[in-house]
Amino acid sequence: MNKSGVLDLTIWAKELCEEHGVKYHGNITTNGYTLDKKTFDNIFQKGITNYQITIDGNKDSHDKLRPAINGKSTFDKIIGNIKMMKKSPYHFECIIRLNVSDSNFEGVKSFIKNETYAICLNDSRFKIHFHPIWGRPELILTQKNQLEELNVMVDSFGLTHTEESGLTDLNNNNKEKIDNSATKKGREADYVCYASKANSFIIRADGTLQKCTVALKDDINNIGKLNSDGTMELDSDKLSKWIFSKDKGCPLQALALEKLAVPYKDAGKFDNPISL
């Protein structure tokens, strides 16, 4: 995490909102590895109130999918940081996201059975979110009822899961929806991805403007530039493809499914692990 960058941005955005009478709150998606107490205190107090932290199963499963850049374990440190958050008095929301595939399904179940009580029980600030892994055939989730099985397990333990659960099965290059009730309640019913909204932009560190937070390296996602004087240059042709996409739930599928770049492309390759 670029801690000073995150702090600078949230302080700037919060002050700007206050000047104009707008309520500000920030969200952060992080692997949680460097979210220590000092960092958490700092960014929460500056307005970042919503967190998403990914744990890919129990220690064994997680460390296979999400090792440190030197190949070492990251699980204990991330869990320690989440438990530190739990001890805080702050009112925040933290989604614990578990990416699920055939290869880590048992590890995810084990995590739910053995680890989540200490974090989530009687603490409505924490919610569990299951997500199928997609983009690499070796990380596919083949049993469509497995996400529902996990949600039922979470319910039976008195814990909370998010309603939205699951994307499209992209591994088969088709648009077959993962069939679980949470998906039907969430994405299939009326979900509109922020990438389809005209007022939603991702600002990359170099000022590049994008729409989708997954296809970060796909040129179809580069729709403009934020200049240092605050003006925006937009490529209206590219932008219109996202906004008028036929698939509002995931406009990227309508645009460039075959080119889809996913963050898991290096997962499980220990000679080329995900950098933290």
- Decide if 267 contacts 274 (C-beta within 8 A): yes
- How far is the C-alpha of 165 from the C-alpha of 157, rounded, in Å? 18
Q: Minimum distance between the CB of residue 276 and ligand SF4, rounded to whole angstroms?
A: 22
Nearer to ligand SF4, 159 or 252 (CB): 252
Exactly one of 213, 216, 218, 263 binds ligand SF4 (CB under 6 A); which one?
213
Nearer to ligand SF4, 251 or 273 (CB): 251
Q: Does 223 help bind ligand SF4 (rule: CB under 6 A)?
A: no
Exactly one of 214, 223, 267, 274 binds ligand SF4 (CB under 6 A); which one?
214
> Which residues 6+ apart lie within 8 Å of 253 measured at CB?
168, 170, 175, 247, 260
- How far is the C-alpha of 178 from the C-alpha of 150, rounded, in Å? 14
- Number of CB atoms found within 10 A of residue 94's CB: 20
- Decide if 227 contacts 233 (C-beta within 8 A): yes
Listed ranges 15-23, 152-160, 200-208, 245-253: which one lies at the site for ligand SF4 (CB under 6 A): 245-253
Distance of alpha carbon 229 from its chain centroid, rounded?
A: 31
Nearer to ligand SF4, 24 or 191 (CB): 191
Q: Does 252 help bind ligand SF4 (rule: CB under 6 A)?
A: yes
Nearer to ligand SF4, 108 or 193 (CB): 193
Exactly one of 250, 264, 267, 273 binds ligand SF4 (CB under 6 A); which one?
250
Report DSSP letters for 226-244, one per residue.
E-TTS-EEE-HHHHHHHHT
**Interface ranges with ligand SF4 (CB under 6 A):** 193, 195, 212-214, 250-252
